[in-house]
Structure 1
Amino acid sequence: MNFLQRGFFRLATVLLLARCSQAKTVTLDFNVTWVNANPDGLHERKVVGVNGQWPLPVIEVDKGDRLIVNMYNGLGDKDTSIHWHGMFQNGTNNMDGPSMVTQCPVPPGTSMTYNFTIPQNGTYWYHCHTDACYPDGYRQALIVHDKDAYFESMYDDEFTVTMSDWYHELVEDIPFIRVENPTGAEPVPNSFLFNDTVSNTNIPVEAGKTYLLRLINIGAFVAQYFYIEDHTFRIVEIDGVYVDEQEADTLYIAVAQRYSILVTMKNSTDKNYPIVTVADSVLLDTISPTLQLNQTNWLEYNSSAAHPEAVMKVAIASDLVPYDDFKLVPHDRMALLPDPDMTIEVDVIMANLANGAGYAFFNNISYTKPKVPTLYSVLTSGDYATNAEVYGEYTHPFVLEHNAVIEVILNNQDTGSHPFHLHGHNFQVVSRTPSYGASFYDFADGDPVAYNATENPSSSFPAYPARRDTFVAPPQGNFVIRFVADNPGVWFFHCHIDWHLSQGLAMSFIEAPKEIQKQMSLTDSEISVCKAADISYEGNAAANIEDLLDLTGQNKQLPWLPAGFTAKGIIAMVFSCVSAFLGMAFITIYGISGIKQQGETSQVVEREDM
């Protein structure tokens, strides 16, 4: 190392220490309980609150801070957890939050402390990740401020906007995976929320100023279009990744996706302008006449001026043409990753299992949670941790080598779109067919189109691909993503439509398991949570600690339906069985009521014949 290199190294060390010394610890206490709320003004219901309040608190931290959240489960009747959506959790995989993936669920009357450093920047959110719990209100924004953002000096103030779908019933009370719903039609929401209320929200602005709007879809199912009447905006961030400014007028924001946009106000205060959010009705199986698909809120230049209702640009939302996120260029100019060391190709399939209900599959495997959290299997399986068999067939595990380039090819054979989320990483989006815009639904009514490397070779991939952590697979289309396995941990890859996750549309990436073992070990507090939940914390997916390759007793998906059964056939079979059962019951009851007299008469006749 020469003199200049030593000097540079010392300067970098000083700057790093200075930045670390500025970081702070943000400590929050969460008492998670049921509270009542009526956000759409149509129906009061119980929701998951924190410290007796709902909506939940927006968490705001600075890049480099340590976040400590002491969570107590006071729900009384439900397990819970917290996933910090988009956080890489470098070295703290046990803080990621998905139950039975990186931790045991936290049962009522039990506490868990989440403690991790935030080296990232941008717009994120947090939500429950135990069963299907976050649609009941356990979700909110997590904002990481960054004074070094390239656009920091380009705006005067900022606002956070959340959008979501909303149900009037608890998730557990909404019938979904059942034989009466063999097609797996998702429950249609009762309303759509903007900052956890139904409408009429004003964002106060001043003429001529520029504002940063952080947009987050914290819903469970429905994507939403977003635009502001008579305004364009500049996209500067997606899913925590800064991008070169791109002017746009409409966005399509799937569940779990985030955008930051710069909006410059007009110089006049004569009027206020509608902020329009429109639910993607293509996703809805049925639409009630009372369901309000579009919401109007306002950029309020002048509180005394009129607040006009929005005038829809098009007749139906799917005719809106949003900006194609595939075209965005990351501001850091991270180049296309080299050819992959490992390629994982999966097909998305929606089908029925033996109970006649609809499930979701990657390559015919419907994710079924193991008996031991997968991370804990890594930590307690020694040298067997590199063997995917340890993690069970139905967690759909892939063991990734440390620092390998991973390529995932996803072919969507379903007629619906799916927003897929990868924990622990953002990924390069290197291919998607078809693209956003007018062609996005091109394949929905035809045959599925799988990725074809000959027609779309890696030489055609972008030089600087967009990166994000949640990306939408088009109906019966495909996409290709790449990332580097440089973050040892167990990372979930799943559809973020919560109904589809409950149907099993997920798989597990066990990344650098030997490195995980070097970084962490099971703590007494983690073991105590498992014991309180009556869940095993060591061994393979079947909780076998003697023979790690013996998966006898592992949780399994149901058997497949016999060949030839269709959705209509399932319904017909069910109702035929029900009719047959009722018929036999009536015959039995009728027969029992008169069997003695009939029996005696028969015997007499037979004797006479003899």
Structure 2
Amino acid sequence: MEATKQDWRAPADHTCSQQIKMRDLRPQLSLFTAACAVLLLGVSQLVSAKPLDAQPHQRSVPNLLPRQVITPGGAPCGQNNATNRACWKNSWNISTDYEVTNPPAFNTVNVTLRITNITNWVGPDGVVKPAMLINNTFPGPTITADWGDYVQVNVYNDLQHNGTSIHWHGIRQFGESNQDGANGVTECPIPPGSMKSYTFHVTQYGTSWYHSHYSNQYGNGVVGALIVKGPASANYDIDLGPYMIQDYYRQTADRLHYVAELVQNGPPPDSSTITFRGKSINPTGSGGSYDRLVLTPGKKHLLRLINASVDNSFTISLVGHNFTVIATDLVPVTPVVRSKLFMAVGQRYDVIVEANQAVGNYWLNATLETNGNCGTTLNKFPAAIIQYSGASSTALPTNKGTPVTAGCAGESGFAPIVKRTISSSLFAPSTLPISLNTPTKPQGQVFEWRIRNTPIVVEWDHPVLEYILEGNNSFPAAINLVEVPAADTWTFWVLQNDFALPHPIHLHGHDFLTLGIGTGTFSASTMMNQLNFNNPIRRDVVQIPGGGWLVMAYKTDNPGVWLMHCHIGWHVAMGLGIQFLERKNEIKQLMKLDQMVPNCKAWRTYQPKSPYLPKVDSGLKRGLGDGEGVRLVRDGFNFREVDLEAREPAVRRLW
């Protein structure tokens, strides 16, 4: 990819010693922030795919009472280097509350993503399969920005018979809900042959990822890493970049979903293997290879771990080494040393690995719980190789290490650097029960996940933000929408899981506070002592245990419509999701919602022409087509293909 970084300069008609409060910015201050950025930040180089003309950003953002004021003209903290990672640039550092202030918007990172189908792709295990890829790579290209940058991404849908959308996982999208990339919620899908431009402000920093939010499409390969560089809570010498670990399937994700949804088939299918940065051996034959990551002896390395799976959650361990955790999702934390880390689907950890052992090769293992509650895989020993510089580049590690006991419970014991404390007297929770039903549909008895006794069914051709644009408040019950109108108010939610399986719960638009997690049934009258209101773990994905509860809180500081769902692909496609409509009356003032109209018109024009649309029932199920010119026909407990024309895996599910 061509690397460019652009800047724009404006007259310095204000002094840079003026206080900048992120929540008090107004469009007329854009030139001021740009001028300050020129003086304070300088220019560095980022990855982009295609340069565009950078323009001053003039976006309104919600007004909040600031918790912290940063004076850019104050004493600088120094240079961000191996001995001073807590500093970023000038006064912005690890203690800066990024919900209040950021480095001034100065640079625009420009990226082009082209989503295509490849009918005879040689997968990482050496087996040929159909795939959907971004820029012909797996995983897709890493998008890299600096804290405070804007990112503009042109997404081209070059698929023949599938819509798409790209969600920027974990990015809060302050005042920019229309850039969230959740089709049926914030936008219509991008139809084949069309392009959509996303522009968003990276107000956080750390490790995240992006993926299609159209059905289970990301399980077919539409996924990549998203890195925002910024300060860190511990020093390191070398940034190794993103390290994406994910389950991998030889069959298309939507075909597997048809198998997974039928009660008669039992649990979801095994993954074919686990990939590490897109590499894996073939656990059932020849082909593929272990990924190798090189460490420099004596140095401390930042490793950005990402679980980008559809179904598998696992425990990560590195033989002979510990992890120093410095961030959970996009939230910096006080450093904590761990010998292993459980990673639910969608979660990320920034960890520091010190190369303090003998020069050699070491196993990096991803271990799944043996009872299958966190997914299953045909690869009995998923692993990559951590190679010290100077060691053999072909030899396998000889030390298998002590076997790791892998569980299915989320990690605890992390303290965010920027604290959030809530008075327990404010606690007034609403309960959101999670349940599993097994109704009979035309294809047979199916699993149907529900929140509030409703399986979510979004309208691809009429997303919620389009309702807001129209001034239409007649929201269908099936979209499972909860209005949260009050501004700057802490909201409390009890998710009560009535079934034995755990769920990685992801909330768009917010990092939420995990006040408590437990088994059994939560009772506010008798279990308040099990909740932590003083700087609890804060992140955007949390694992709720099977038959247990999660008490979470978030502040209504971000007007928009925000999806909350299980990040297991099969579960969300079966209905496990809900939408929060936050501060509805402010949305039209903050966002240019009319920008969504052309894409929605294009989608509605395409819809009648699609061989897989319109939907045949609730919108969660879209017939049995599994490819362009391929039709799946159920034959007993299996599916057989009826070959019609070409072969693009088609995805018609909710997400």
What's the TM-score once normalised by structure 1's chain length?
0.78
State the distance in 1 between where 2:334 and 2:501 align.
Answer: 31
Number of aligned residues: 512
Q: Deviations over 1:321-359 (max 9, x none)?
A: 699633110011222365447632111111112322111
2:534 paired residue among 463, 468, 475: 463
The answer to whether structure 1 residue 302 and structure 2 residue 310 are counterparts is no
State the distance in 2 between where 1:277 and 1:142 align.
Answer: 22
Q: Secondary structure at the match of 1:154?
A: coil
Tell me the residue number matched to 1:245.
Answer: 335
1:198-209 paired onto structure 2 within 5 Å: 198-199=280-281, 200-209=290-299
2:18 paired residue among 10, 17, 30: 10
Q: Secondary structure at the match of 1:408?
A: strand
Q: Name the CA shift for 1:272/1:457 in 2 (closer, same or farther; >3 Å).
A: same
Paired residues of 1:340 and 1:404 also in contact (CA < 8 A)? no
The answer to whether structure 1 residue 335 and structure 2 residue 432 are counterparts is no
Q: Name the CA shift for 1:110/1:287 in 2 (closer, same or farther; >3 Å).
A: closer
The answer to whether structure 1 residue 473 and structure 2 residue 544 are counterparts is yes
Tell me the residue number matched to 1:421.
Answer: 506
Q: Name the CA shift for 1:101/1:182 in 2 (closer, same or farther; >3 Å).
A: farther
1:344 paired residue among 430, 437, 456: 430
Give the Å deviation of 1:42.
4.3
State the distance in 2 between where 1:286 and 1:496 align.
Answer: 13
Give the Å deviation of 1:102.
0.3
Tell me the residue number matched to 1:88.
Answer: 172
Q: Deviations over 1:288-324 (max 9, x none)?
A: 8x5434324224343338432562634xx6x336996
1:194-593 paired onto structure 2 within 5 Å: 194-199=276-281, 200-266=290-356, 268-269=358-359, 271-283=360-372, 291-304=379-392, 306-308=395-397, 311=400, 313-314=402-403, 319-320=405-406, 325-336=411-422, 339-340=425-426, 343-355=429-441, 356-370=445-459, 372-381=462-471, 384=473, 390-400=474-484, 401-434=486-519, 449-457=520-528, 460-524=531-595, 526-534=596-604
Give the Å deviation of 1:367.
0.5
Paired residues of 2:504 and 2:542 also in contact (CA < 8 A)? yes
State the distance in 1 between where 2:236 and 2:386 align.
Answer: 22
**Greater Cα shift, 176-185 or 99-108:** 176-185
State the distance in 2 between where 1:32 and 1:287 align.
Answer: 28
Tell me the residue number matched to 2:196.
Answer: 112
Paired residues of 1:433 and 1:479 also in contact (CA < 8 A)? yes
Give the Å deviation of 1:450.
1.3
Q: Deviations over 1:135-179 (max 9, x none)?
A: 000011100001x3333x433333321110011111232253688
Percent of pairs with identical residues: 25
Q: Secondary structure at the match of 1:534?
A: helix
Give the Å deviation of 1:460.
4.4
Tell me the residue number matched to 2:123.
Answer: 39
Q: Secondary structure at the match of 1:227?
A: strand
Q: Deviations over 1:171-201 (max 9, x none)?
A: 2322536885357622221111111111522
State the distance in 2 between where 1:53 and 1:194 align.
Answer: 14
The answer to whether structure 1 residue 150 and structure 2 residue 233 are counterparts is yes
2:110 paired residue among 20, 27, 35: 27
Q: Name the CA shift for 1:365/1:535 in 2 (closer, same or farther; >3 Å).
A: farther
Q: Name the CA shift for 1:310/1:497 in 2 (closer, same or farther; >3 Å).
A: farther
State the distance in 1 between where 2:167 and 2:599 align.
Answer: 16
Give the Å deviation of 1:33.
0.7
Letter aligned with residue 180 of structure 2:
D
Q: Secondary structure at the match of 1:83?
A: strand
Q: Name the CA shift for 1:365/1:222 in 2 (closer, same or farther; >3 Å).
A: same
Letter aligned with residue 482 of structure 1:
A
Paired residues of 1:372 and 1:536 also in contact (CA < 8 A)? no
State the distance in 2 between where 1:109 and 1:232 align.
Answer: 48
Q: Deviations over 1:443-494 (max 9, x none)?
A: xxxxxx1112233206842521010000001111111011101000000000
Give the aligned CA root-mean-square deviation in angstroms: 3.0
Paired residues of 2:490 and 2:553 also in contact (CA < 8 A)? yes
Q: Name the CA shift for 1:178/1:127 in 2 (closer, same or farther; >3 Å).
A: closer
Q: Name the CA shift for 1:180/1:49 in 2 (closer, same or farther; >3 Å).
A: closer
Paired residues of 2:115 and 2:133 also in contact (CA < 8 A)? yes
Give the Å deviation of 1:132.
1.5
Q: Name the CA shift for 1:287/1:274 in 2 (closer, same or farther; >3 Å).
A: closer
What's the TM-score once normalised by structure 2's chain length?
0.72
Segments of 5+ residues of structure 1 without an aligned counterpart are 1-5, 385-389, 435-448, 538-552, 559-573, 576-610
**Greater Cα shift, 11-20 or 114-123:** 11-20
Q: Name the CA shift for 1:224/1:535 in 2 (closer, same or farther; >3 Å).
A: farther
Give the Å deviation of 1:53.
3.3
Q: Name the CA shift for 1:149/1:179 in 2 (closer, same or farther; >3 Å).
A: closer
State the distance in 1 between where 2:249 and 2:399 align.
Answer: 24
Tell me the residue number matched to 1:138.
Answer: 222
Tell me the residue number matched to 1:174.
Answer: 256
Paired residues of 1:78 and 1:107 also in contact (CA < 8 A)? yes
Q: Deviations over 1:92-142 (max 9, x none)?
A: 111100110000011101110011111110111000001121000001110
Q: Name the CA shift for 1:211/1:177 in 2 (closer, same or farther; >3 Å).
A: same
- Of Structure 1 and Structure 2, the greater helix share is in 1
Give the Å deviation of 1:52.
3.3
Letter aligned with residue 165 of structure 2:
S
**Greater Cα shift, 204-213 or 514-523:** 514-523
State the distance in 1 between where 2:157 and 2:620 align.
Answer: 29
Tell me the residue number matched to 2:59.
Answer: none
Paired residues of 2:127 and 2:250 also in contact (CA < 8 A)? yes
State the distance in 2 between where 1:247 and 1:188 align.
Answer: 32
Paired residues of 1:394 and 1:556 also in contact (CA < 8 A)? no
Paired residues of 2:261 and 2:574 also in contact (CA < 8 A)? no
Segments of 5+ residues of structure 2 without an aligned counterpart are 1-13, 22-31, 42-102, 282-289, 608-615, 622-634, 637-655
